[in-house]
Amino acid sequence: MNAESAARPKEHEGITPDRLLHTAGDEVTAEDLALASGRDLTPENIEWARRRLAERGRAAIEEQLP
């Protein structure tokens, strides 16, 4: 490794892998939705998230993610 290659960041350094960005295949919980929505995990927010998941299904969390 030379000084030039040590100074350059790795090609994918700092990039979040898709497997961490997308929820496909994983069960989405009310807590996941509350956190993805920027809400604290309070009983009220968890209940909001449960209702939202019941109404919209997986789309509820996908709408929150980039």
Find the helix or strand (DSSP H, E) in which 23 lies. none
Q: Check: pTM over 0.85? Answer yes or no.
A: no
Tell me if 19 is assigned to some domain.
Answer: no
Q: How many CB atoms lie under 10 A from the CB of residue 30? A: 20
Tell me if 41 is assigned to some domain.
Answer: yes
Tell me if 60 is assigned to some domain.
Answer: yes
Q: How many domains does the chain have?
A: 1
Domain containing residue 31: 27-66
Task: Name the nearest CA neighbour of 36 among 47, 49, 55.
Answer: 49
pLDDT (tens digit per residue) in 17-38: 766 666 555 688 999 999 999 9
Tell me if 13 is assigned to some domain.
Answer: no
Q: Is the pLDDT of residue 8 over 80?
A: no
Tell me if 40 is assigned to some domain.
Answer: yes
Tell me if 15 is assigned to some domain.
Answer: no
Tell me if 34 is assigned to some domain.
Answer: yes
Q: d(Cα 53, Cα 20) in Å, to the nearest integer?
A: 20
Q: d(Cα 48, Cα 28) in Å, to the nearest integer?
A: 14
- Mean pLDDT score across all residues of the chain: 80
The more confidently predicted of residues 15 and 11 is 15
- Would you place residue 2 in the very low, low, confident or very high pLDDT band (cuts 50, 70, 90)? low
